[in-house]
Amino acid sequence: MSRASLVRHAKALHIPVTSTKGKVTYPKGMDDLRIDLMVLLYGPLLGVITGTAPEIDTRIDLAVKTHDGKCGPDLLRSQLCIRLANKDRAEAKRLSSEKVKDRDAISALLNSSRQYLVLANVALNLHGIAKGLRGYPPVDYRASPFTEPVVSNEENN
């Protein structure tokens, strides 16, 4: 992806494309634009994003299309849930770094983050099912690592 397309995506999402140091304004580098786009689309605390620049640019392009609603409502819901989960994780990390820790609030935020990730997985699976019904290749349906297996009443007796 060229710098022009990164700048176009950033401007469309109202991300500043320049940084100011003192009285001097500099254009942001391509890596800074990539980071700002990923943080806006998927929330803070993404960790290390592995891959080459073209692979990351492809992810950013798909994320921007999803954010604009061009990839369907289920992927948009999944992206929103991932962003909300990451925001809750960031807030829990901020609260845990304070001197006086509010363990109940931290626990509630982490539980909320887990629930958002489960919802993101459900939305992603719904997108895969809809895509499969339209004749596209099947999608790998895997269970969420955050959900418990359902135990029937017959097994408990």
Torsion over CA of 23, 26, 31 and 36, rounded to 10 degrees?
60
Domain ranges of the chain: 1-71, 72-149
Contacts of 7 (CB under 8 A, 6+ apart): 17, 33
pLDDT in tens, 49-108: 788 888 888 888 888 988 888 888 888 899 899 999 999 999 999 999 999 989 999 999
The whole-model pTM stands at 0.74
